[in-house]
Amino acid sequence: MGIESVSNRANIYPAIGSRLLGVPEVRTLGVKPNFPDYTPEEREFIRKSDLILYPTRNYAQFLTTMGKKIFPSLETYLYADEKIKQTTLFYMLNIPHPRTRIYYHLHHKDILNHFNYPFIGKLPRSSARGRGVFLIGNGEQLDVYLELTKIAYIQEYIPHERDLRVVLVNHQPAIAYWRVRAPDNFRTNLSQGGRINFDNIPPSGIAAAQDAARKCRLNDVGIDLIRHEGQWLVIEANMKYGRKGLKMKGLDLKEILRTKLIAGELSQ
């Protein structure tokens, strides 16, 4: 079913971000740093709409305070590219997660009291696509890592050949696939040489991703998990997940979102 083929166009919804640009039921207004920069008609359109799509980090919290329904959720923006906040949330919600600790500058000296080499060090922000993720095997490598960040995000190293990426829209799986690491890299990211495999996707992994997404109130997200010692561990939540797996399966994210929008599922 193509984007232009659906006749139900009774409702037009405002969007601020460009994710749904070109969808007939959506009017994309664009991101303007000052709300008065929108025209009076655009401002009224936002104020009177029951649902605002892709409000962006700029406006998600304000629209939520106004009592507006937004998609994706406020939490989807709050925890995007925030590894420290995600880890804290996972622990507080009792979501299985690799053993992880945060060390501020004065406590860097305590890292080796809690972790043995090798372990993982990540930049708390801007470490998407595997950049900013380091396998630390000795003191010299630790020193190099600590030169890059005042806040150390240290995680146990769990060797694995693959991890499971589950993309969820409104907590329902759109696609799931393995990311298989390259022989010369400990990371499974596609940008780091990893490859996609669709074989034998375990329902228990999808269920674990759904459970984590619901508990965290993340409704447009890619959840990454690994299987370790009989349970699924959530590694992280990616709000800027890649589209390659969807394209390989012939899936169109805009079409998935549009179908859910017309069915009223994005306003729930």
Q: Please tell me the pTM assigned to this model.
A: 0.91
pLDDT for residue 6: 36
Mean pLDDT of 149-166: 96
Residue of 40, 86, 76 whose CA lies nearest to 55: 76
**pLDDT at 253 > cutoff 90:** yes
Cβ(59)–Cβ(16) below 8 Å: yes
* Domains of the chain in sequence order: 1-71 (no CATH), 99-156 (3.30.1490.20), 159-254 (3.30.470.20)
Confidence of residue 268 (pLDDT cuts 50, 70, 90): low
Cβ(195)–Cβ(183) below 8 Å: no
pLDDT for residue 194: 84
pLDDT for residue 2: 43
Mean pLDDT of 125-129: 68
pLDDT for residue 267: 78
pLDDT for residue 130: 61
Q: Give the burial class of 31: count Cβ atoms within 10 A of its Cβ; 0-12 exposed, 13-18 middle, 19 or more buried.
A: middle
Residue of 246, 200, 268 whose CA lies nearest to 50: 268
Confidence of residue 192 (pLDDT cuts 50, 70, 90): confident
What is the Cα–Cα distance from 253 to 169, expressed in whole angstroms? 9
Residue of 71, 116, 105, 95 whose CA lies nearest to 233: 95
**pLDDT at 245 > cutoff 90:** yes
What is the Cα–Cα distance from 167 to 239, expressed in whole angstroms? 9
